[in-house]
A = this chain, B = another copy of it.
């Protein structure tokens, strides 16, 4: 099935790039104004907090966040240096590690959410009705499907 690239597709592509960049810029600006770190830190801390006591292997976090291996490795370096997460030996597989969030990491994530949630509402919630937001989410999820 080789469909010709049509106008509606190009419009959707362009709008996707623009809207995401703008929305992320608005949210990041709010975090920065509150002297808080970037979104990627929030994502990592939140995944680790959800994982709880058992923590996550780097490759699991990597997949959850859609990051490259080396990229995650460096993000964890920074989080660890700031005492937000810990790298622990992995008993099942001696190649690997287990990442766990520290109390300071939970605390920072909480402070970030206070700002982040308001920023999401401003960037998305205030611009769409509830129904529109649901429709948008459903359409975007269709784009995530493989391959």
By a beta-carbon cutoff of 8 Å, the part of chain A in contact with chain B is 1, 3-6, 8-25, 66, 117-118, 120-121, 123-128, 130-137, 139-145
A66 to chain B, nearest CB (A): 5
New A-B pairs, 5, CB < 8 Å, besides A12-B137, A128-B142: A3-B126, A9-B133, A15-B137, A16-B19, A18-B144
With A124-B143, A137-B11, A137-B12: A130-B6 Cβ-Cβ less than 8 Å = yes
Asked whether A17 and B20 contact (CB < 8 A) given A9-B133, A118-B5, A124-B9, the answer is yes
Q: Is the CB of B22 within 8 A of A66?
A: yes
**Cβ 8 A contact of A20, one of B11, B16, B137:** B16
Minimum CB–CB distance for A45 against chain B, Å: 15
Q: How far is the CB of A54 from chain B (nearest CB, A)?
A: 23
Are B23 and A117 interface neighbours, CB within 8 A? no
Interface residue SS majority, chain A: helix
Could you say which of B19, B20, B23 contacts A141, with CB atoms under 8 Å apart?
B19
> Contact: A139 with B128, CB < 8 Å?
yes
Cβ B18 vs Cβ A117 within 8 A: no
A21 lies within 8 A of B66 (CB): yes
A8–B131 alpha-carbon span in the complex (Å): 8
Q: Which of B8, B24, B25, B117 contacts A5 (CB 8 A)?
A: B117
24 A/B residue pairs, CB under 8 Å, sorted by A: A1-B126, A3-B121, A3-B125, A4-B121, A5-B121, A6-B130, A8-B130, A8-B131, A8-B137, A9-B124, A10-B120, A12-B134, A12-B137, A15-B141, A15-B144, A16-B20, A16-B23, A18-B66, A19-B144, A22-B144, A25-B66, A128-B142, A135-B135, A136-B136
